[in-house]
Structure 1
Amino acid sequence: MSDDRSYRGRCFCGAVEVAVTGEPAGMGYCHCESCRHWSAGPVNAFTLWQPDAVQVTRGAANLDSYQKTPASVRKWCRTCGGHVLTEHPGLGLIDVYAAIIPDFPFTPGVHVHYQESVLRLHDGLVKMKDVPAEMGGSGQTLDE
């Protein structure tokens, strides 16, 4: 993927649109309880971006947010309830959910918070107990 390549995504109804540009800081799957509950699924596919690589191109006033913990500010469309992104202030990164950017070449590299998994995936990717040490976690990996 080229650094100047841009991909567009949108909420469920299309009232909110986003664009991501360049290379993500990371891609993978999160198994934490918060992401599972928020996504209403057993696992959440994430793409992490530097804030300047993410732009809300339509419907910014239609975004609402919820902050359960200081680690995450989750944003969704007020019209359809479609989840759009999560800001991670402590990491200085924004997670634009992989599911909303359909043309983006999602290439996951890691599973995080795998100790909380309710759906074991045998895909050969690294399974982190929590998150990498450089992100404040233990850096410990688990077996598939």
Structure 2
Amino acid sequence: MSDPSYRGTCFCGAVEIRVTGTPKAMGYCHCASCRAWSAAPVNAFSLWSPESVSVTKGAEHVGEFHKTPQSHRQFCRVCGGHILAQHPPWNLVDVYSAVIPDFEHRPALHVNYQEKVLSVRDGLPKFKDLPKDFGGSGEMLPE
């Protein structure tokens, strides 16, 4: 049986991506950068190995912005729609869950909860910053 594959696009459809297999992690980020980038109070992420993610159409339209060395955010230069973020220090790619509509987002945690502007009571672990494996304190916060 082959690995599942999901198609996603930017806002206008000029850039298409495919993710294959299963993500390494899924959750919600509350950091100020993700909130500003997504224009939302929280950002749903799905983290994939780089070999599981490919641009299948419109690579020439992909722009990139680096606010920090941890996140190389990619977007469509035609419509400005967000596509994904490369995370070189962790060798992972964050494909924003909203970009892959047929993929079922099953979050397991919240990160950067100390920066929240929206409280979420869902029973999931709330990390103050990041888990220790990702260079954070690993400290948990209450809902």
Q: TM-score, normalised by structure 1?
A: 0.97
Q: d(CA) in 1 for partners of 2:23 and 2:68?
A: 24
2:46 is matched with which residue? 47
8 Å CA contact 1:30–1:113 kept in 2: the answer is yes
Partner of 2:30: 31
Structure 1 runs, 4 residues or longer, greater than 4 Å off: none
Counterpart for residue 71 of structure 1 = 70
* 1:21 aligned residue: 20
What's the CA shift for 1:3? 6.5
Structure 1 counterpart of 2:7: 8
Tell me if the contact between 1:3 and 1:23 (Cα under 8 Å) persists in the aligned partners.
no
How is 1:92-107 mapped onto 2 (pairs within 5 angstroms)? 92-107=91-106
Distance 1:20 1:89 in 2: 18
For residues 100 and 12 of structure 2, what CA distance do their matches in structure 1 show? 14
Are the counterparts in 2 of residues 3 and 21 from structure 1 also a CA contact under 8 Å?
no
Q: Does 1:115 align with 2:114?
A: yes
CA RMSD of aligned residues (A): 1.0
Provide the identity percentage.
59
1:17-73 deviation line (CA, Å, top 9, x unaligned): 000000101000000000001111110000000000001011111000100111110
Deviation at 1:86, TM superposition (A): 0.3
Q: Does 1:60 align with 2:59?
A: yes
Which residue identity does 2:129 align to in structure 1? D
Unaligned runs of 5+ in 1: none
Query: 1:140: which partner in 2?
Result: 139
Alpha-carbon separation, structure 2, partners of 1:124 and 1:3: 33
Instruction: Tell me the SS of whatever aligns to 1:85.
Output: strand
Take 1:46 and 1:73, find their aligned partners in 2: how far apart are those partners? 14
Distance 1:69 1:100 in 2: 22
Change (3 A) 1:43 1:3: farther
CA distance in 2, matches of 1:66, 1:13: 19
